[in-house]
Amino acid sequence: MKIAIQKLLQYLTYYIDRFWRAAIFITLSIPFFFSIIVIPFVIRNRKTEDLSERHTKIWFKLIFKIFGIKLKIIRENEEKSEEKEREIETKPESKKNKNSENKSQKFLIYANHISFLDIPSIILAFEDKKIKFLAKEEVLKIPLIGWGMAIQKHPVIRKTRKIDSIIKVISLIKDENQNIDAICIFPEGTRGDPQRDIRKLLPFEEGVGFIAEKLKIQIVPVAIIGTHKVYPPGAIIPRSGEIKLVIGKKIDDINDLLEGQQDKDKNSGEKTQDQKAKKRKEITQKLYDILGKILERFYFD
């Protein structure tokens, strides 16, 4: 009898805690709805777009604080796999070094995709950077999320015009007039089956190698671990827990991954188009292998 009462009290405590956290979150989210979506939708210019992005970042920090989500950032390129925990604060980011950023230091982030919390985790891990996320057109149909992405002008891949969409992404990051530090892509293209082995990547979409080759900028692999537990499919609100985000070693030159493949192609007598297709396929596979190894190394149940 005592055990049954204890279990009942535990359930009640858990759900009461969840209820008040959700109530606080909904109440505090109302003003952010106006600053992130309503005002930028009515007044469309660069200032309101920037306002939407800044307040989105603050809103994500608020989500992590209210629901007790801890973001642990691990930098693979630091000696002894030194781990760094980032404090999630609710104050706006400092801009003192933003204007001094070298525009040539733009980079491409590619990451695994397992939860709706993947994007907030990346934004908070690179909180001093302005990042645009490459999205499928279906995402624009999702209430709130799609509206925000459209207002903030995140690039979209359209099924009927995939090549044109990819070319626009390349032009966007190369445009010196665009205030963008990085483009983030999820090469798997989907979160996949919730029951699948999260430690294993889904096959990468076509076009990943093309984007990586054409951009000619640094590439940063990012492994996201734990977001599917904190915010599992079908959940209404997140749970408390820890998310690990592993920032892999930067790839300065994509051609360095091919290890003599270009010399082999020159002597093979293949047609130019076949060579290009082969090279892009090789790049895609190399990127897949790099991210897969990071997941294997840092994933913990």
List, for residues 100-148, the tens digit of each pLDDT value: 444 458 999 999 999 999 999 999 999 999 999 998 888 888 888 899 9
Q: Are 206 and 159 in contact (CB under 8 A)?
A: no
Helix, coil or strand: residue 98: coil
Query: For the chain, what are the domain ranges?
Result: 69-298
Q: Which of 20-34, 60-74, 82-96, 183-197 has the lowest mean pLDDT?
A: 82-96
Cα angle: 203, vertex 145, 168; to 5 degrees: 60
Judging by DSSP bridges, how do beta strands 107-111 and 182-185 pair with one another?
A: parallel
pLDDT at 295 over 60: yes
The pLDDT of residue 94 is: 44
The pLDDT of residue 244 is: 95
Q: Which of 30-44, 86-100, 191-205 has the highest mean pLDDT?
A: 30-44
Q: What are the pLDDT digits (tens) for 181-226?
A: 999 999 998 887 767 788 889 999 888 888 988 888 999 999 999 9
Pairwise CA distance, residues 67 & 243, whole Å: 13
Q: Which of 184-198, 244-258, 280-294 has the highest mean pLDDT?
A: 280-294
**Per-residue pLDDT band at 299 (split at 50, 70, 90):** confident
pTM metric for this prediction: 0.84
Q: Report, as an integer, the average pLDDT of 222-240.
A: 91
Which of residues 33 and 164 earns the better pLDDT score? 33
Q: Please state, rounded to an integer, the average pLDDT across all residues of the chain.
A: 83
Q: Report, as an integer, the average pLDDT of 154-179.
A: 82
Helix, coil or strand: residue 224: strand
pLDDT at 78 over 80: no
Range list of H helices, 96-253: 118-125, 145-151, 162-174, 208-215, 227-230
Choices 3.40.1130, 3.30.40, 3.90.550, 3.40.50: CATH for 69-298: 3.40.1130
Pairwise CA distance, residues 283 & 37, whole Å: 38
